[in-house]
Amino acid sequence: MMQEDAKNNILLITTTTSNTFQHSTPVNKRFLQTKITMTDKRPHPSSSQAQLAIIESAMSRMTDTAHPSLYDVTIICTTDDYQATYWMERLSSGVCKKPSNGDTTAAADVASTYPMVLAVSEDWSASGAGNGLGTLYAFQKACGVAAEKYGVDLKKELGEKRISAALYHTAGKGTRLAPLPASENNNKPGVVSSLDVALFGMLLCVLCEFGLWMLLLETEKIDCKRSSMPISWYSPKFVRINFLMASTHVFHSTPNPPKKLPVCHLLSTGTHEPITVLEAVVRQTGIYAPSRPGRLSVYWGDQIFVPTSPFEYTPTHHVDIMCTLFEEPPTEKVWVDRGLEKYGVIAVATGESGDAAQVEKVDHPTAMRMLKNLGDIGRVGPSLGSFSVSAEILDALCEEFKEELAAKDGKLDTDPHFWMPLTLPQDEYISLMSQKGVAEDESRAHHIRMTKMKDSFLAANPELGLFGAVDVGNNACWWDYGQLKLYIANNLKLAEEGADADLLRRFFGVTSRVMNSDVSDVKVSESAFVSSCKAKSGSVGAHSTIAAVEAEDIQIGEDAIVVNCAAKNIVAGKGAVLYNLISEAEEGIVAEDGDVIVAVTNVDGSSMLLRSKIDICGGGAWKKVLDGNTMSFEEVHKQNRDADVSAIEKKRKEMYKKASSSFGGN
């Protein structure tokens, strides 16, 4: 039961444990104050019974590792061919692995074609294709790979609605997460976390169903500067969840490493290895696959969410975009209170058509003027950016931009160059683009081009509307990861005290603060978390989180994070972050308070250390040579271009094993 105490700005949550012990937990505007040890299912505090049923269904799908919900075809758009090879192999043998049931019939052989993983590189001009042209180009390249590698006509299969497909963009340099992406040789989606992959789905479940306890209960407005994360509203009961499962970002590409999370998953070899964010996102987004045969879904790798609105639906538009629609009518007060002037906003008309339109970063009067052609507006909400398109409009867009695609020239994004000119009147589109510094003549010409395409397309394909919305629910649960400070804050949640952290661990499947580890002679703080580690002596300080660590002696300070490190001795000061470090030196690895140290490894096994501090923003320091470094993050990023990430990962594992063996760890 939940009661609100307005005077003290707290919620009083009464919970019942599995042994019927009942207690109440006061929640202030930042943290829950008491520790919950055993809990039954708790509803998301802002959810109705209908939403709870949706959450339960979503969680059941996400956590079903025996029969996972996946798209028939998973397309990963990477920076280079090495990354494409890496992800095709990793996903095909991991989260997208084909089921093996012993059936050898011809029908089974055909069925075994899927799930299929196709990874392609964006070999475009230096400025990039943008996520609009980039999506079209990646799909075309994927069609070529499918035909060459599997003998499958992907375009035909999609057009005949035999399959569903999803494209994941992994673009971005990862500047705000620096220096972690450098340690993955620019393979940004490979930065990892530290729990068990088998437990990953359980985390999603708990974060969604028990979001109130999972981090912050914020009563002040959240101002998220990242336009791709449109969360800037508040409610006394709305929970902003920033679970940084260490991150990959987007599903398009510039060099970006596989980010390891402090969450180790069980491999077929019986060993444990940190899961990457991309793998987590592929699993989470698969719940929409059954509703989308004949469509290409496009996702961004820095958005992990659990919906509170139905995820099973029948598409009614050739394009549908994910958003969080508010229940309130779009009055000026709602617009201001929700901070909608800062984001891309989807507006949905009243009536059965469900037609929608998009505006971006405008105030309420301007939005209403721009959206007048839509008619009466029923609901509005921030766009998530992720979308799906029918095979028909995908083909039409590829045809419209065939010259740009053939020349690999130009840069177009979906929101300003596809959706807005398709849904806004010409004058309003020109006005909006002028705010971006685009000349009037350029905007007018582009709008005329898109309108001509739209009119021709709808005349030939009238069975669906043009542009609609898929509401994920304004009580949906979110995880934001993509900045070093969030990587640190959210991974430390695994070791924090408080009901939110207790529930995080519990529903992540963490049954002990020490999991899959041999650290019996190490003094581990009761508030630390240890996953898949081996050490003979030492200590692990309060609130620290370590995963995939092997050493003879470890001295881990409080609030430290150590992931995938091996050395005879490892010393991490308070708040330090150590990532992918391997040493055979007698002194081992030593980090002072607040240090961030990663290793950048080459194919030949040589490596360099890259240093930062926990309070340094990688984006702001991107071009600077920080103390202790010989190169800037930008220079390392350039040096890492076209790195053979598969060969480097293999070499890193060999080095890890060799270092561990030198002190009897393996």
Q: Interhelix angle for 426-434 vs 440-460, to 10°? A: 140
pLDDT score of 256: 44
Nearest-angstrom CA–CA distance, 569 and 550: 9
For residues 115 and 96, give the distance between their C-alpha atoms in angstroms, rounded to a whole number: 6
For residue 110, pLDDT beyond 60: no
| Least confident piece of the model among 10-24, 399-413, 582-596 | 10-24
* Model confidence, pTM: 0.78
Percent share of the chain, pLDDT over 90? 53
User: Over the chain, what is the mean pLDDT?
Assistant: 79
Distances (CA, A) of 266 to 275, 331, 494: 9, 50, 19
Closest CA to 541 of 551, 529, 532, 553: 529
Read off φ and ψ for residue 429, nearest 5 degrees: -65, -45
pLDDT tens sequence across 173-187: 556 556 666 665 555
pLDDT of residue 607: 92
Q: Residue 138: pLDDT above 90?
A: yes
Cα gap 356→349, rounded to integer Å: 6
Flag whether pLDDT at 27 surpasses 50: no
Q: Name 192's Cβ contacts closer than 8 Å, sequence gap at least 6.
A: 246, 258, 259, 260, 261, 262, 263, 274, 275, 276, 277, 563, 564
Buried b (16+ CB within 10 A) or exposed e, 343-352: bbbbbbbeee
How many Cα atoms occupy the beta-carbon half-sphere of 9 within 13 Å? 10
Residue 21 near residue 36, CB atoms below 8 Å = no
Is 125 a residue whose pLDDT tops 90? no
Nearest to 338 by CA among 238, 480, 446: 238
Q: Which of 654, 656, 642 is nearest to 85 (CA)?
A: 642
Q: What burial letters (b/e) apply to 356-393, b meaning 16+ CB within 10 Å?
A: bbbbbbbebebbbebbeebeebebbbbbbbbbbbbbbb
Of 418, 353, 416, 344, residue with least CA distance to 381: 344
Share of the chain above pLDDT 70, in %: 72
- The pLDDT of residue 457 is above 90: yes
pLDDT (mean) for 204-225: 30
Q: What is the mean pLDDT of residues 205-232?
A: 31
**Phi/psi of residue 652, nearest 5 degrees:** -60, -40
Query: What is the DSSP code string of 489-552?
Result: HHHGGGG--SHHHHHHHHHTT--SSEES-B-TTSEE-TT-EEES-EEEEEEE-TT-EEEEEEEE
What's the rounded Cα separation, in Å, for the pair 461 and 240? Answer: 41
Name beta bridge partners: 121: 78
pLDDT band at 437; cut points 50, 70, 90:
very high
- The pLDDT score that the predictor gives to residue 511 is 72
The burial class, CB within 10 Å (0-12 / 13-18 / 19+), for 29 is middle
Phi, psi (rounded to 5 degrees) for 4:
-105, 130
Measured in Å, how far apart are the chain's first and last C-alpha atoms?
50
User: What's the pLDDT score for residue 38?
Assistant: 30
Segment 314-333, tens digit of pLDDT:
999 999 999 999 988 889 99
- Check whether the bond before 262 is cis (ω within 30° of 0): no
Q: Which two tokens stand for residue 25?
A: 């937990």
R_g over Cα of the chain: 25
Q: pLDDT digit string (tens) for 602-612? A: 999 999 999 99
pLDDT value at 23 more than 70: no
Strands 191-192 and 259-266: parallel
Q: pLDDT confidence of 394, banded at 50, 70, 90?
A: very high
pLDDT at 171: 56
Instruction: Look at residue 440 and tell me whether its pLDDT is greater than 70.
Output: yes
| CA–CA dist 30, 46 (Å, integer) | 17
Place of tokens 């939403």: 51
The separation between CA 437 and the C-alpha centre of its own chain, rounded to angstroms, equals 30
β 165-169/116-121 pair status: unpaired
Alpha-carbon dihedral angle through residues 403, 409, 412, 418, given to the nearest 10 degrees: 0
pLDDT digits (tens, 9 = 90+) for 51-89: 878 877 887 787 787 888 999 999 999 988 999 999 999
Q: Give 9's DSSP letter.
A: T
Percentages helix, strand, coil for the chain, rounded to the nearest 5? 35, 25, 40
By the 8 A CB rule, do 623 and 175 touch? no
Distances (CA, A) of 392 to 74, 286, 310, 398, 477: 19, 22, 25, 10, 32
Q: Which residues of 53-63 are buried (b: 16+ CB within 10 A; e: fewer)?
A: ebbeebbebbb
Burial bucket for residue 341 (CB in 10 Å: 0-12, 13-18, 19+) = middle
- At 283, the pLDDT band (50, 70, 90 cuts) reads confident
Find the range with the poorest average confidence among 271-280, 400-409, 656-665. Answer: 271-280
What DSSP string runs through 422-444? HHS-HHHHHHHHHTTT--HHHHH
Residues 32 and 11 sit within 8 Å (Cβ to Cβ): no
Q: Which residue has the tokens 């987007």?
A: 250
Burial class (CB in 10 A: 0-12, 13-18, 19+), 126: exposed
Q: Please report, for residues 132, 162, 339, the alpha-carbon distance to residue 551 in angstroms, rounded to integers and kept in the order given.
A: 47, 51, 49
